[in-house]
Amino acid sequence: MAPQQKFQITSGSKEYINRTIQVLTPAFQNDPVFAWLLHNYPLSKHQSVLAKLFRAFFTQASLNKAIFIEVDDFSCCSVLIPPGASLDNPRTLLRAGLIPALFTIGPGSFKRSMFEYSSGAEPMIEKALTKEEQKNHWYVFIMGTAVDRRRQGFASSLLVHMQERATSDGRPLWLEATTPNSRNLYSKHGFVTVGEVVLGKGKVGPDGLARKGGQGITIWSMYWRPSS
């Protein structure tokens, strides 16, 4: 099992945001969701564009009480949104630079990021959580392991930590798995799959890259609820 050293910050300092970007950009460069978001860009530019998107996303998260968590000097890290907070807060979108960042990548990526993804996930949340839980649950916005530190138990340690947080206030954890491997990891830790959401059908393949008539990408909406 990976070391249990965890450092947390609720303010999202520039240092933590920078380190999180450094770890997660290469970790998610080939992730189907982000490939789908950026499929109108040449593959050679995905990493640089993704880093810019992450900076805007993580700054927006930090302005809305997100908790940045890392294990063993950023071997694995995550951005956790606490109950009652929301990444859709319009008052902080401009401050975070999210709207300009999304416009920079073009209207197609903007639409996919701001509307298509959330419209697919929302029905799943309504299906699985009570009305109170829909307003107040923990949301794992993103979690990833450094490319050279995978399969060493760091992600499992981080999941356990987040489950302990959720247990402390009796609220569920919600996330979307974007690959079969991540879905299997979450399942091993007790997360329940609510259903599958298919995005980009007819436009991209299962890897998220442009493919006319492609089957699209699949994400798995999942939750974990503390025992009574």
pLDDT at residue 1, as a whole number? 43
**Residue carrying structure tokens 């008539």:** 213
Quick one: average pLDDT of 138-165? 94
**In one letter, which amino acid is 207?**
D
> Comparing C-alpha atoms, which of 26, 134, 139 is closest to residue 82?
139
Number of independent structural domains in the chain: 1
Which residues are within 8 A (CB) of 13 and not within 5 positions of it... i.e. 6 or more apart?
Answer: none
Does any domain span residue 131? yes
Does any domain span residue 163? yes
59 membership: H or E segment, kind and range:
helix 46-62
Does any domain span residue 113? yes
Does any domain span residue 1? no
**In one letter, which amino acid is 51?**
A
Does any domain span residue 62? yes
Quick one: average pLDDT of 139-157? 95
CATH of the domain at 178: 3.40.630.30
Beta bridge partners of 68: 9, 79
> What secondary structure letter does DSSP report for 39?
T
Identify the three-state secondary structure at position 136. coil
51 membership: H or E segment, kind and range:
helix 46-62
Q: Are 77 and 68 in contact (CB under 8 A)?
A: yes
Pure H helices in 74-143:
90-96, 98-104, 107-111, 117-128, 131-135
* Structure-block tokens of residue 163: 């489950």
Does any domain span residue 195? yes
Does any domain span residue 205? yes
**Residue carrying structure tokens 């302990």:** 164
Quick one: average pLDDT of 46-50? 90
pLDDT at residue 188, as a whole number? 97
Please state, for a pLDDT cut of 90, what percent of the chain lies above it. 64
- pTM of the entire predicted model: 0.90
Q: Which domain holds residue 103?
A: 6-224
- Per-residue pLDDT at 45 exceeds 80: yes
Q: Are 116 and 174 in contact (CB under 8 A)?
A: no
Q: What values do phi and psi take at 146, rounded to 5?
A: -55, 140
pLDDT, one tens digit per residue, over 8-29 is 555 668 889 999 999 999 999 9
Q: Are 173 and 166 in contact (CB under 8 A)?
A: yes
